[in-house]
């Protein structure tokens, strides 16, 4: 690994560390970075330790994992579709997951079954989008993107329908899936493990992804078995999205904004962009969640609102700039 | 080198009933030109030979082995393809673009070394685009992009070169430079197989010619046997005048009577 790859990643890693310390420190009881570190290392008062280790840290780590997963998923889909506008939210994967979760709630299921159902929904949405776009055999990126957008609109209609006919007492829980909120996310470990695993797994594929970004024919001419690689990306992106949505509901635009900003600064070498997306996406969501907690404290905003407010102008700018 | 060989090959052109099966070997040191009118299937033939498209019938061999039995990576080490159309979804610099030619030669986890970078830079130099190394490909002119994609295959360094209209967008000087580069490749024991829309380039530079007719007919052989006015007039549906320049035939289209 050359320095070209290492130094940006180090900078991003330091930034994410700082963001996490800030996020853990901010709240109804403010803690200084020193106090946060002390609590993490097992010192400090009982109250501080409970606050940091049991309440705030899981939420911060969940936000980090969710943001990282979504950003990497977005970056992978953009390579797959050779279109910088692709992202799990735009392609309707998040919508499918939300429908899965809401169906489980309407059926009176709870806890893990809701998560499992969201996971199934995300995978189903991916299969639908890719299956339908595949159609007569050509997997053209624009067709895939269009299919995704239309399918996403379909999920939106199903969601509205379910909201309209559901009993009132279930509405708050359902809205949580729609808005995207990490305040109930308490199990960051699976997401963090998956994020790390994917970042390590893409190392041997990084250069192949770079070549694939030049188009499938060029990639095949340069010695890549295109179809297996495309399937691999597709499965990995679905898995990442499904895990993220299961943790925190549907949070839009992280997968769009983060890879785009990083490509502007770092170029488009996937060996650098993918791990950088994991770090920067995590950092962005940790900061957005911190903001969501303090803007109208003691009330909390769903973090999805913040990312959408950032994401919509970015998406529009991208569209405006592209010919 | 393992020569590329078509055996009973019928390319799959949509809507065409059948075709005359192709049987030829692109041998060491040979320079082939494929001629035919628009829509005759020149690009399809090239993509089929590269293994990017399935033929309707027949097989392609690379040395003793059928192409389909080889790994893509092994194929890419022996055969390079310059595309006519290029899509660039993401911005990439000229040097990065040439450097991907090294892909089939590197192990999956390997980073490009200084040696790889040097090979790419040399290729860019040979194509006279080294001064554009840091520019984004999307900002180049058509001719410059064409030379960058030839430089990518030069970096790939294959035994068999397949090229789709390599002189597209090139000015006269660079047309000659590219043809000389390809001839040097052939002289060094490689093989070159290219689609050309300019009949006279084939007459000037190619030792073998394949004529591809729109109805699927084809004939091939040494250039001097193929480049006869009657066959070429039937190929293009165009009356031709033959003159000689520099010891080679030059074909000039004659305006149809009634036109200016």
pLDDT of residue B88: 66
Q: Domain locations in chain B? A: 4-253
Give, in words, the CATH class of A3-321. Answer: mainly alpha
**Average pLDDT value over all residues in chain A:** 85
CB of B126 closer than 8 Å to CB of B174? no
pLDDT of residue A238: 82
Q: Name the band, by pLDDT with cuts 50, 70 and 90, for residue A32.
A: confident
Q: Is B83 close to A222, i.e. CB distance below 8 A?
A: no
- The residue in chain A having the minimum alpha-carbon distance to the alpha carbon of residue B88 is A214
CB of A31 closer than 8 Å to CB of A47? no
Query: What confidence tens digit (pLDDT) does each residue in B213-234 have?
Result: 988 899 999 999 999 999 999 9
CA A200 to chain centre: 18
Query: What confidence tens digit (pLDDT) does each residue in B109-163 have?
Result: 888 899 999 999 999 999 999 999 999 998 999 999 999 999 999 999 999 999 9
User: Which of 175-234 (B) contact A at CB < 8 A?
Assistant: none
Its pTM stands at 0.89
Set of chain B residues whose Cβ sits within 8 Å of the Cβ of A201: none
> CB-based contact (8 Å) between B91 and chain A?
yes
Characterise B209 by phi-psi region: left (phi > 0), alpha (psi -120 to 50), beta (else).
Answer: beta
Chain A nearest C-alpha distance from B41 (Å): 17
Percent of chain A with pLDDT over 70: 94
Query: What confidence tens digit (pLDDT) does each residue in A216-227 have?
Result: 899 999 999 998
pLDDT of residue B192: 98
CB of A294 closer than 8 Å to CB of A26? yes
Q: Is A204 close to B108, i.e. CB distance below 8 A?
A: yes
Q: How many Cβ contacts (< 8 angstroms) between chains A and B?
A: 78
| Domain B4-253 architecture | 3-Layer(aba) Sandwich (3.40)
Q: Any idea which residue has 């939420």 for tokens?
A: A59
Query: What confidence tens digit (pLDDT) does each residue in A153-193 have?
Result: 999 899 889 888 888 887 877 777 677 778 777 788 888 99
**Average pLDDT value over all residues in chain B:** 93
> CB-based contact (8 Å) between A108 and chain B?
no
Q: In this model, does residue A195 exceed pLDDT 60?
A: yes
Query: What confidence tens digit (pLDDT) does each residue in A241-291 have?
Result: 888 888 888 888 889 889 988 888 888 899 999 999 999 999 999 999 999
Give the CA angle between residues B57, B59, B60 to the nearest 5°.
135
Q: Domain locations in chain A? A: 3-321
pLDDT of residue A135: 63
Set of chain B residues whose Cβ sits within 8 Å of the Cβ of A268: 90-92
pLDDT of residue B124: 97
Give the CA angle between residues B152, B153, B159 to the nearest 5°.
155
Rounded CA-CA distance B194/B202 in Å is 9
Least-confidence region, from A229-233, B15-19, B126-130, B180-184: B15-19
Question: Which segment, A12-21, A80-89, A95-104, is predicted with the most confidence on average?
Answer: A12-21
């Amino acid at each position: 690994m050359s320095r070209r790859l290492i130094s940006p990643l180090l900078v991003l890693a330091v930034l994410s560390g700082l963001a996490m310390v800030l996020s853990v420190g901010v709240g109804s009881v403010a803690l200084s970075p020193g106090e946060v570190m002390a609590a993490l290392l097992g010192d400090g008062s009982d109250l501080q330790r409970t606050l940091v280790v049991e309440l705030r840290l899981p939420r911060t780590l969940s936000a980090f994992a969710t943001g990282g997963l979504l950003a990497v998923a977005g970056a992978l889909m953009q390579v797959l579709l050779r279109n910088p506008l692709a992202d799990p939210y735009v392609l309707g994967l998040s919508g499918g997951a939300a429908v899965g979760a809401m169906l489980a709630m309407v059926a009176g299921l709870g806890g893990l079954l809701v998560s499992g159902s969201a996971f199934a929904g995300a995978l189903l949405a991916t299969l639908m989008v890719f299956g339908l776009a595949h159609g007569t055999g050509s997997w053209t990126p624009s067709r895939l993107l269009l299919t995704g957008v239309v399918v996403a609109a379909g999920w939106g209609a199903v969601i509205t329908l379910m909201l309209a006919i559901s009993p009132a007492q279930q509405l708050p829980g359902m809205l949580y899936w729609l808005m995207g909120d990490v305040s109930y996310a308490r199990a960051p470990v699976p997401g963090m493990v998956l994020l790390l695993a994917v970042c390590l797994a893409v190392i041997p594929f990084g250069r192949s992804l770079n070549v694939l970004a030049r188009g499938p024919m060029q990639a095949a001419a340069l010695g890549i078995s295109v179809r297996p690689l495309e399937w691999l990306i597709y499965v990995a992106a679905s898995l990442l999205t499904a895990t993220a949505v299961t943790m925190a509901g549907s949070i839009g635009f992280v997968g769009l904004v983060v890879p785009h900003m990083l490509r502007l600064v770092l170029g488009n070498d996937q060996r650098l962009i993918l791990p950088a997306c994991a770090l920067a996406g995590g950092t962005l969501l940790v900061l957005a969640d911190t903001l969501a907690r303090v803007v109208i404290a003691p009330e909390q905003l769903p973090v999805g609102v913040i990312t959408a407010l950032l994401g919509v102008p970015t998406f529009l700018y991208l569209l405006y700039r592209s010919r | 080198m393992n020569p590329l060989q078509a055996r009973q090959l019928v390319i799959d052109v949509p809507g065409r009933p059948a075709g005359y099966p192709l049987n030829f070997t692109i041998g060491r040191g040979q320079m082939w030109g494929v001629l035919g009118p628009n829509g005759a299937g020149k690009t399809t033939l090239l993509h089929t030979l590269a293994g990017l498209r399935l033929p309707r019938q027949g097989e392609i061999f690379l040395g003793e082995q059928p192409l389909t039995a080889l790994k893509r990576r092994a194929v890419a080490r022996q055969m390079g393809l310059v595309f006519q159309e290029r899509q660039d979804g993401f911005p990439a610099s000229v040097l990065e673009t040439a450097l991907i030619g090294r892909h089939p030669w590197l192990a999956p986890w390997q980073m490009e070394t200084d040696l790889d970078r040097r090979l790419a830079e040399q290729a860019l130099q040979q194509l006279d685009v080294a001064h554009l190394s840091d520019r984004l490909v999307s900002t180049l002119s058509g001719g410059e992009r064409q030379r960058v994609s030839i430089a990518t295959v030069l970096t790939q360094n294959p035994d068999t070169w397949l090229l789709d209209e390599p002189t597209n967008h090139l000015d006269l000087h660079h047309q000659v430079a590219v043809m000389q580069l390809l001839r040097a490749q052939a002289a060094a024991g490689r093989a070159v197989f290219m689609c050309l829309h300019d009949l006279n380039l084939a007459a000037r530079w190619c030792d073998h010619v394949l004529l591809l007719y729109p109805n699927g007919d084809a004939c091939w052989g040494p250039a001097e046997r193929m480049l006869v006015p009657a066959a070429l007039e039937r190929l293009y549906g165009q009356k031709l005048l033959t003159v000689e320049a520099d010891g080679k035939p030059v074909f000039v289209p004659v305006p149809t009577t009634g036109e200016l």
